[in-house]
Structure 1
Amino acid sequence: MTKTIKLISPVDGAVYAERPVLTGPEARVAVARARTAQPAWAALPLAERIAKVQAGIAALNAMKDDIVLELAGQMGRPTRYGGEFGGVNERSAYMASIAETALAPMVAEDSDRFRREIRREPVGVVFVIAPWNYPFLTAVNTIVPALIAGNAVVLKHASQTLLAGDRLAQALHQGGVPEDVFQNVVLDHQTTEELIAERSFGFVNFTGSVKGGQAIERAASGTFTATGLELGGKDPGYVRADADLDAAVDSLMDGAMFNSGQCCCGIERIYVHESLYGAFVEKAVAWVKAQKLGNPYDAETTMGPMAHRRFAELVRGQIAEAVAQGAKSMIDPADFPADDGGAYLAPQILVDVTHDMRVMREESFGPVVGIMPVSGDDQAVALMNDCDYGLTASIWTSDAEAASEIGARLETGTVFMNRCDYLDPALCWTGCKDTGRGAALSNLGYLAVTRPKSYHLKKVTK
């Protein structure tokens, strides 16, 4: 009997989509097709590869109306937000615009005696294991530069967003990327790990949990396969005494609650200078109470369900445990009648929290944030660093020099001043500690999907 993966919609708990899982032999055939097709793709002029990828992104945009509805059905994001197309287009366009420079040879000498240079060669077949929370945004971070650089790409999408993989394949093929050069496959964990262990790929990109990243590393152990791993996060915000309070509240709370808190770089803990703490909490509570939890197809809904009931249960557990340890919840769940004890979860703000509580140390990935007062920069830095993760950190201040100095002391991948929950494609997207390793976007994003190859060409014989 054929094994299938069922996508359960958080909207109503019904099966939204179902796809057959490739067997091990079928998956190996797919990889072999990618490996066979890759050299001809790499031999195309760079401008032609760029044009085909950009045409694929344009084709994806043409599917926007359907995709927005599918996102709501698959993982619960309200349709009012229009999908992920702004970020997809920004990142794809930027990576296309820098490709010629990023992939150009580094010439050490070009004289009548020698030409010495370092070229960038595609790694061959790139394996992208994409997550459900931003199924298009996270995927294009690697898919676009990998294809432009001349690689074939095999995409395994999350079971919660199976249709996103279908759409990406459909769009890129319409744009002119050959079917064997970009393949969307449905795999189980066992086959995924077997393919990696067999050195099937030149590079593996994974976005997901720490546990998942550890499984990828174990599978790749001894193969010398390069990996890029974006794993968990517990991103902090710090509001200094000189911050614009209203701007800080609006952005940080949006960063904490957007997508029902299911953002890689969402804000999960906030530290506020004691002089602003009371006012910040008051305004933050009002901000949250103005949100509407409900059916994501309703145009008035600002927060939909979490992607799966079990994710909501984890957050409820963290909240209950924190309250039992002395934290105070500022939001009455009764104010959000759509909270059904299942995937629909009322947002929450916790005060009187400490770092002895899981909710301030372990990833929540849901609509809850703890807020603590701090005496100044030193205490804020110590608390922001008191975490196993390091993806982004947000500093709110009118002093750019102070933000830069504080940022230099933080164990994080990206430092923001007066903004949060954003990826700048011109900057490297990276993390440290348990958040993982690797570099996506920017010029460095091309280095991940290529390898250096040196040429020492002596033009004379003496």
Structure 2
Amino acid sequence: MSTIFSSCAAINGEPLFTAELPDSSTIAEVFGRARQAAFRFRRVSIDQRIAWVRRYAEYLTDHRDEIRDLISLEVGKLPWDADAEVSASISKIELSIAAFQQRRSDHVIQPQPGSIQRHIRYRPIGIALVLGPFNFPLHLPGGQIVPLLIAGNAVVLKPSEQATAVGDWMLRAWNATGLPDDTLQMIVGGTETAITAIDSPDVDGVFLTGSRQAGLAIHRQLAGRPEVMLALEMGGNNPVVVAADADPLTTANLVSFSAFVSAGQRCTCARRAIFVDSPTCESQITALVDSVKQLRVGLPVDASAQVGPVISEAAATTLHQTYQRLVSLGCNPLVPWQVDDRFPSLVHPAILDASGLTDQAKRVIADLEWFGPMLVIDRVGDFDAAVQLASETPYGLAASLIGGTEMMFEQFVNEVRAGVVNWNGPTTGAAGVLPFGGIGASGNHRPAGYHAIDFCSDPIASLQRSEPVSDDPWSIVK
């Protein structure tokens, strides 16, 4: 008897997508079709592949209101946030094309006189399994699918079980472009589906956007299979350091946005704010606390809302458990935990103060991973101590410095150990023309963004001669 899988609206529980949960034989059939599609698709010209991805951008543009509303309905994003995701998805197309042309297109290395030519070509990896997240259900899997298709791969998408309706919409949008059959397919389900898919002998690459726990599990599952390319984009315990000269109001705006945009459900959201003790320190913290208390929290239907709900009641419960653990470590709530009476996943932003805790307690805090609107602040004696505390985490995704000098920022970049390091902006600031990824427990040296194209193919080196070598190659040993 088949098992029915459903994905429902985050706000009202309305079923948005329903299908049979695939068993191992169904998943094997999907990858079998993908193998045949990959063989055909790699032979398609790059111009034709680019034409298909541009048609996808046109489809997104023509249907942006439709997909914006679906994102908002399924995962609870505020409409402005969902619309920004659609814009980023559209922009990703031309950026991926430019990245391919700049970083991964076939070329000849400084032609030499005579008959020998030195060529670099790029061969698609084959079949890529893309495991998408719920927080950017269109943009983040799309940011891997687009360069994979440009490079000539077949793709199997498993969207988040909490955002499968968006994944289905994406699949239908690609089909509308005329993309060849089975070049992009979708499987549905949760962890068990992903495990079965990763075990497929037809998998040539696995692309994850998700938690550290999920990334570690996949890394272990692929032990002994070095032929499978693995790209992990995981979470972080991202610090923002506030220098003594930072304006209090500017600090409040940048830190609160870093921590609480998208209900704190961005992997780059700030989890710790570290203030350099100075005559302005208390006014900076007071301005932050006051501004956060005034943030308007609401559902997507609330036009004035600045912070929306977390993905589910279960996510809110998990976040509350982390809050309680922070309190048990000695953190002092400056903006205490609060959930809106109207909706169990509508969590108000919370701030806790870790100043004065032991070094051991602070190490525990820096090792935690949480996904929601909660921030821990701390005070340190000077800038060097702030940089050191910011760096004392196994994660390494994003960091930001507010205030300070160019020399201080150079020190910050060199010592903070993160893949996205900003100055006088939020930790969530990213640009499509730059790489995007973390180090340490936040990634495995596969930055996405503009550089995602780099691990969608393998380089092939060729020494080419128009005629066979006439001289005896063994003459070098005579």
TM-score range, shorter chain: over 0.9
Corresponding residue number in structure 2 for 1:393: 399
Tell me the secondary structure at the aligned position of residue 436 of structure 2.
coil
Residue aligned with 1:127, SS: strand
Equivalent residue in structure 2 for 1:411, among 413, 417, 424? 417
Structure 2: distance between partners of 1:211 and 1:442: 22
Query: Which position in structure 2 is the counterpart of 1:450?
Result: 457
Structure 1 counterpart of 2:410, one-letter code: S
Q: Could you tell me how far 1:258 is from its partner in structure 2? A: 1.0
Tell me, in whole angstroms, the C-alpha distance in 1 between the residues paired with 2:141 and 2:375.
27
Contact 2:438 2:447 in 1 (8 A): no
C-alpha displacement of 1:246: 2.7
SS of residue in 2 equivalent to 1:434: helix
Structure 2: distance between partners of 1:237 and 1:158: 29
Deviations 1:81-138 (A, max 9, x none): 3431222223322112232222223533534220122211111111100000111121
Matches within 5 A, 1:62-461: 62-83=62-83, 84-110=85-111, 111-224=113-226, 225-275=228-278, 276-331=280-335, 337-338=340-341, 340=343, 342-353=344-355, 354=357, 356=361, 359-419=365-425, 420-441=427-448, 444-461=451-468
Q: Distance in 1 between matches of 2:417 and 2:404?
A: 22
Deviation at 1:234, TM superposition (A): 0.8
1:6-29: per-residue Cα shift (whole Å, max 9, x none)? 324332355444332222111111
Match of residue 21 from structure 1: 21
Distance 1:107 1:296 in 2: 53
Aligned pair count? 460
| 2:336–2:352 CA contact under 8 A, matched in 1 | no
Structure 2: distance between partners of 1:267 and 1:162: 27
Question: What per-residue deviation string (whole Å, max 9, x for no partner) do you get for residues 385-441 of structure 1?
Answer: 111211011111252232122210122112111122033222222211211213244
Which letter maps to 1:32? G
Task: State the AA in 1 paired with 2:465.
Answer: K
SS at match of 1:116: strand
Asked if 2 retains the 8 angstrom alpha-carbon contact of 1:400 and 1:417, the reply is no
Matched residue of 1:439: which SS? Answer: coil
2:168 & 2:266 partners in 1: Cα distance?
A: 22
Deviations 1:151-207 (A, max 9, x none): 111110000001111111111121232231111221443343233233322211011
Given that 1:46 and 1:100 are in contact with CA atoms closer than 8 Å, whether structure 2 keeps it comes out as no
Verify the 8 A CA contact 1:157 1:165 in the aligned structure 2.
yes
Do the aligned partners of 1:121 and 1:452 also contact (CA within 8 Å) in 2? yes
CA distance in 2, matches of 1:192, 1:415: 32
Q: Distance in 2 between matches of 1:439 and 1:319?
A: 32
Task: Report the Cα offset of residue 141 of structure 1.
Answer: 1.8
Give the counterpart letter for 2:437 in structure 1: T
SS in 1 for 2:435: coil
CA distances 1:60-89 after superposition (whole Å, capped 9, x unpaired): 232222222222222211124343122222
Could you state the TM-score of these two structures normalised by the residue count of structure 2? 0.90
* Aligned 8 A contact 1:194 1:219 in 2: no
In the superposition, relative to structure 1, how do residues 232 and 81 fare at CA in structure 2: closer, same or farther (>3 Å)? Answer: closer
AA partner of residue 286 (structure 2)? E
The amino acid across from 2:319 in the alignment is: V
Secondary structure at the counterpart of residue 11 of structure 1: coil
1:37 partner letter: A
Q: Provide the C-alpha distance between the structure 2 equivalents of 1:204 and 1:29, rounded to a whole number of angstroms.
A: 18
Secondary structure of 1:270's aligned partner: strand
Structure 1 distance, partners of 2:449, 2:162, is 28
Pairwise CA RMSD: 2.2
Once residues 342 and 200 of structure 2 are traced to their aligned partners in structure 1, the CA distance between those partners, rounded to angstroms, is 46
Separation in 2 of the partners of 1:352 and 1:430? 28
Query: Using the alignment, how far apart are the partners of 1:339 and 1:282 within structure 2?
Result: 29
Distance 1:17 1:302, change over 3 A: farther
Q: Distance in 2 between matches of 1:218 and 1:96?
A: 33
With normalisation by structure 1, the TM-score equals 0.93
CA distance in 2 between counterparts of 1:92 and 1:438 reads 23
